[in-house]
Structure 1
Amino acid sequence: MFRGSVFTKLEHLLFSIFLVSVLFVPSRSSAQGAANQGNQESNFKASLLNIEAASNEVFRYQSTLRNASSETKTYELKADLPPGWLISFRVNGSQVRSVQMEAGKLQDIQIEVNASQSAEPKRYPIPVIAQSDNDTLTLNLEAVVKGSYALTLTTPTGRLSEEVVSGSSEEILLKVENKGTLPLNDISISSQLPSKWEATFEPSTIEQLEAGKSVDIKTTLKVPDKTIAGDYMAKITAKNANSQEEISFRILVKTSMLSGWIGILFILAAVAIVYLLIRKYGRR
């Protein structure tokens, strides 16, 4: 009996210790989570730190600013850029220069960087800073310029006007040139013309145009019959996924010599008829 009661008391003691440990001692994961939360600091981060693009394309970075302090802060946004470069910060689509953040909040910020057109192909460090009265957060971005896209459209002589006889066709020679440092692929040629006019291009597409190279495009412009004489504008566009160039071509439409002589003959015939009628009936 005595031995059994001792074991019973010991069991009750062990059970009490277990309950105390469960109810009052925090678990390891909870304690670790609390420690991590306490050690969390304000920061400025981006999903992609390094972006490669052409010099005439926009470098876009998605960043997140965290205010882990216990007070509301206003952060001024700025960056140290190479000469001739531009930067803009956008929050919910609107361009901003600073953001006000409540304690413990996160803010998504889109950063857009425009390189100088003369930027050489290489890596450019872009330190971006979010600064408040007593806090400076730095985000080290990098822009890799791989070259430039530059498409031009003109004529071999530079002349952008032509004379066309109404009801006829005219051949115009165009010149597409790659003045960038990167190849241009899948260039298409199209036109915007007055009603019922037609234009065909040979070739109408260019699969690839290397840097510094050019291609001549033979354009056949057809003007409908009975088009009124005068000045008309024809817009011609060369474009691909990376670049686009548009020119306005002045077209002077003239009537044919035959049409002119026919018109003159009609006028003379009308005058002759009037004259004969006057002579015949004017004496009565």
Structure 2
Amino acid sequence: MLFNYLSKPNTFKCFYASINLIFFVILGFHPTLNAQNQDSKEKDLKSTFSSDLINIETSIGQVFRYTTTLQNNTSEDQVYQLTTKVPEGWRGIFKTKGKQVTSIKVDHGKREIINLELFPSYEAKPDKYKVSVIAKSLKESLTLNLEAVVSGSYELKISTPSGRLSEKITEGDQEEILLTIKNTGSLNLNDIELNSKTPPKWSAVFKPSKIDRLSPGETKNITAILTVPDKTIAGDYMSTFTAKNANSKDEATFRISVVTSLASGVLGALIILTAIIVVYILIRKFGRR
């Protein structure tokens, strides 16, 4: 009779589906099987450590800044120790919420944003450098591999051939000051402009007024023609000459000592002598009365 009942196509399908349902319900409520299944899921959960950028390029002397995300996918809160493996002479620091840290607590199922700042060695040459960032807790160790590309530096220096930054000039005259502009970086410098900051009514003209290109280690001479107006009071004045382009800037401050001209000195002496003679005559004249 059961055979006749199951022999019907639709009835057999329903019976098979019922058996499967009962089997899965038993498995779901079986303590041992359920625990094993839960343990298996927990073993598959692994935290992640990532960065929005893994390769950053900048010039020598600049700081590399990365924004990383640490995701705790385990079932427990974790405290991660943060360390870096960097080239010799380099230094890395971690910051979160504006504070410098060496470790961080991440609640289970949560994530934290960690900012990494890499300071390259002063002797770092243009090249690609490998950096490993490690977040380690009692349960796991996560490694993030980054790249820091040092592309070179933009630097220039303005000075004089002798290094002396002082001049003497007569009021009302012009003085030619020889300047040296040197590319002390490792990259080409283009479109270098010359500017000056002088006392009121003074003027400075550069020849040439612009340097189109300066290769690394190359030096070019510039003549600054400084004009001091008439009747400038004798004394020391400061004038600043600046060389700059879009990537670098340097300035040199000169002490300019202004002296009076010979004609002004003679005229001043004559005025003083005349005053003395007048006083002497007045004394002789009125002193006899």
TM class by shorter chain equals: 0.7 to 0.9
Structure 2 CA distance for aligned equivalents of residues 54 and 108 of structure 1 = 26
The superposition leaves residues 7-42 of structure 1 with CA deviations (integer Å, 9 ceiling, x where unpaired) of xxx9xxx9xx9xxxxxxxxxxxxxxxxxx9996532
1:3 corresponds to = none
User: How has the CA–CA distance of structure 1 residues 150 and 38 changed in structure 2, closer, same or farther, with 3 Å as cutoff?
Assistant: same
Q: 1:282 aligns with which of 263, 266, 287?
A: 287
**TM-score by structure 1 length?**
0.78
Say if 2:102 is the partner of 1:97. Answer: yes
- Give the counterpart letter for 2:249 in structure 1: Q
**TM-score by structure 2 length?**
0.77
Structure 1 CA distance for aligned equivalents of residues 71 and 79 of structure 2 = 12
Structure 2 CA distance for aligned equivalents of residues 86 and 172 of structure 1 = 43
Structure 2 CA distance for aligned equivalents of residues 243 and 200 of structure 1 = 22
Structure 1 CA distance for aligned equivalents of residues 66 and 181 of structure 2 = 33
- Higher alpha-carbon Rg: 2
C-alpha displacement at 1:102, in angstroms?
Answer: 3.4
Contact 2:171 2:232 in 1 (8 A): yes
C-alpha displacement at 1:269, in angstroms?
Answer: 0.9
Q: In percent, how many aligned pairs have the same letter?
A: 49
Contact 1:56 1:149 in 2 (8 A): no
1:68-79 mapped onto 2 (5 Å cutoff): 68-79=73-84
Question: Which structure 1 segments of 5+ residues have no match?
Answer: 1-9, 18-35
Contact 2:42 2:75 in 1 (8 A): no
1:32 corresponds to = none
2:36 corresponds to = none
C-alpha displacement at 1:176, in angstroms?
Answer: 0.9
- Give the counterpart letter for 2:121 in structure 1: S
Say if 2:199 is the partner of 1:189. Answer: no
Q: 2:46 aligns with which of 41, 46, 53?
A: 41
Contact 2:63 2:117 in 1 (8 A): yes
Say if 2:98 is the partner of 1:83. Answer: no
Structure 1 CA distance for aligned equivalents of residues 186 and 283 of structure 2 = 79
1:199 corresponds to = 204
CA RMSD in angstroms, aligned pairs only: 2.8
User: How has the CA–CA distance of structure 1 residues 266 and 205 changed in structure 2, closer, same or farther, with 3 Å as cutoff?
Assistant: same
Runs of 4+ deviating beyond 6 Å: none
Say if 2:122 is the partner of 1:121. Answer: no
User: How has the CA–CA distance of structure 1 residues 272 and 74 changed in structure 2, closer, same or farther, with 3 Å as cutoff?
Assistant: farther
- Report how many residues are paired: 254
C-alpha displacement at 1:271, in angstroms?
Answer: 0.8
1:1-284 mapped onto 2 (5 Å cutoff): 41-284=46-289
